[in-house]
Amino acid sequence: MLDAFREAVALPWVFGDLRYSPQAVVQLSDTRFAWSDLTGTVTGVQIDGQETQGYNAGPFTDSTGHTLVVIELAAPLPTGAVITATGTGMVSPRTGALIENPADIIEQIILLSGYVMSANMRQGLTRLRAECAAEGLTIAGCVSNVGDYGTLRATLNEIMRSIGGGWSSGSFWLHPAAQVLTAPPADAELRVPDANVTACVAVDKSSFSSLAIAYDDQAYAAKHRQALTLAVRPSLSTATRPVSMLAGWVRTSANATAIAKRLLRRGSGQVYEVKLDAPVLSPPLVAGDVFAHASPKFPAAGLRWLTVIGAQRVGERTDIACDLLIPLPGQVFDVVSRTVAGDITQLAGVELAVSNGQATFTVYDAAGKTVVGANVSLDGGTPKRTDAQGKVTFTATAGQHKLYIEIPGSYPMQLTVNVG
């Protein structure tokens, strides 16, 4: 479809915010490269890791009327050089907003691959969309050659693994769901009131108290740019080594931390495998569904949340396999280690000014420039963004406070500050 091309390569679909994470591009000629086969914006181009200004980027329409985002270099790419680019991906045709919620990205990938979603899958994506929004989860990445069902499955596996979730042909979900980490209210709806618990067995195969998560994938270089190891206490686990997890579609340490905390709450608590025998349900239960139930076979009295792992109709009954989690209260999370690639911007420091009980912090990078749009929180409170001058203000009493700072693609900082 193009005037000339080097080889038969599927053009990438780009999703989310990749402004701070260089990605591979597809070479169309000595000077032309494809960023995305969808809508998108190029914010930077790198040759052998160094930023270049000698390019133009924008939409290009081929002879069939199809539009893609193309980078045009001012001079041919040197032989053997590696070109990468940063930018953003597909936007919603309805709202114009960047598509970065995992559920929205999954929906687009399925539809663009030519598959029709069932009503259960749409319902599962609606649930996943709300769960990710509540946790503040956004992801970003590139997909190429989703041309068959096996490749599509592998892509969905990678995305759901990145966010600590699961999926089946009928549903998508985060695991554990947020409500599972709390006690059911006394008036919780009993979705399966006539179910009979046939087994409740404690398991330790998922028990762990520390998790090492590698994220911010650079697929062209076969490496991750950032990693985080988080530990939780107290914990029922006796494991001495952290569980490892790959989360290539996650781009920020804030999201990596949120995912790690959720998974650690499950890994550090007591998990039970529960089997139930129930009447035929309408609508049927699907993997990822959560419902409240009580049984004398449970380790504690009262209602407990059960997460459906699988449900199968057998004649006029339904066999249901569930996951019962009893999390530990009062848990504290510790950052064991945090690593970051050397090419990611480092924060250098913070300047503090106090006036009338208001503490104003100015955030600087390693080059001494103020950082606009940094997320800053004081003592674990609601984060605020630095303004055009790199400043953010909090009400603060005199004494020691904890300041946490993060910008997309940066190494997070946690500082102890003294407010006079």
Residues across the chain? 420
pLDDT attached to residue 1: 45
In this structure, which amino acid lies at residue 159?
Answer: I
Residue 239's pLDDT band (boundaries 50, 70, 90)?
confident
More confident residue, 202 or 7: 202
Question: Does residue 375 carry a pLDDT above 80?
Answer: yes
CA angle 207, 213, 214 (to 5 degrees): 150
pLDDT attached to residue 222: 63
Instruction: Tokens for 331, please give them.
Output: 């848990």
Question: Does residue 42 carry a pLDDT above 90?
Answer: yes
Question: Does residue 379 carry a pLDDT above 90?
Answer: no
Count of Cβ atoms closer than 10 Å to residue 73 Cβ: 19
pLDDT attached to residue 348: 55
CB of 156 closer than 8 Å to CB of 167:
yes
Task: For helices 102-112 and 149-162, give the axis angle rounded to 10 degrees.
Answer: 180
Task: Give the lowest-confidence range in 195-199, 286-290, 367-371.
Answer: 367-371
Question: Does residue 29 carry a pLDDT above 50?
Answer: yes
Task: Give the lowest-confidence range in 99-108, 139-148, 197-206, 272-281.
Answer: 139-148
Count of Cβ atoms closer than 10 Å to residue 111 Cβ: 11
For 300-326, the pLDDT digits (tens) are 889 999 999 999 999 999 999 999 999
CB of 361 closer than 8 Å to CB of 403:
yes
pLDDT attached to residue 142: 93
pLDDT attached to residue 412: 63
pLDDT attached to residue 68: 92
Averaged pLDDT score across all residues of the chain: 88
Spatial separation of the C-alpha atoms in residues 223 and 361, rounded to whole Å: 35
For 45-63, the pLDDT digits (tens) are 999 988 999 999 999 988 7
For the segment 162-172, the average pLDDT, to the nearest whole number, is 90
Question: Does residue 391 carry a pLDDT above 50?
Answer: yes
In this structure, which amino acid lies at residue 329?
Answer: P
243-247 and 210-218 strand pairing: parallel
Domains, the chain, with CATH or none = 13-88 (no CATH), 102-174 (no CATH), 178-342 (no CATH), 345-419 (2.60.40.1120)
For 124-166, the pLDDT digits (tens) are 999 999 999 999 999 999 998 777 888 899 999 999 999 999 9
Question: Does residue 14 carry a pLDDT above 80?
Answer: yes
For 251-271, the pLDDT digits (tens) are 988 899 999 999 999 999 999
Count of Cβ atoms closer than 10 Å to residue 165 Cβ: 22
Which of 260, 263, 177 is closest to 226 using CA atoms? 260
For 179-192, the pLDDT digits (tens) are 999 999 988 888 89
CA Rg, the chain, in Å? 24
CA angle 403, 261, 269 (to 5 degrees): 135
For the segment 281-296, the average pLDDT, to the nearest whole number, is 91
Count of Cβ atoms closer than 10 Å to residue 405 Cβ: 23
Instruction: Tokens for 352, please give them.
Output: 């503090």
pLDDT attached to residue 337: 80
For the segment 392-401, the average pLDDT, to the nearest whole number, is 89
Question: Could you tell me the sign of the dihedral formed by the alpha carbons of 227, 231, 237, 238, in that order?
Answer: positive
SS3 assignment, position 355: strand
Spatial separation of the C-alpha atoms in residues 359 and 395, rounded to whole Å: 6
Spatial separation of the C-alpha atoms in residues 420 and 358, rounded to whole Å: 11
Question: Does residue 2 carry a pLDDT above 60?
Answer: no
Residue 221's pLDDT band (boundaries 50, 70, 90)?
low
Instruction: Tokens for 383, please give them.
Output: 């984060």
Share of the chain above pLDDT 70, in %: 92
Which of 173, 252, 169, 260 is closest to 212 using CA atoms? 260
Q: What is the dihedral of CA 213, 128, 275, 199, to 10 degrees?
A: 50
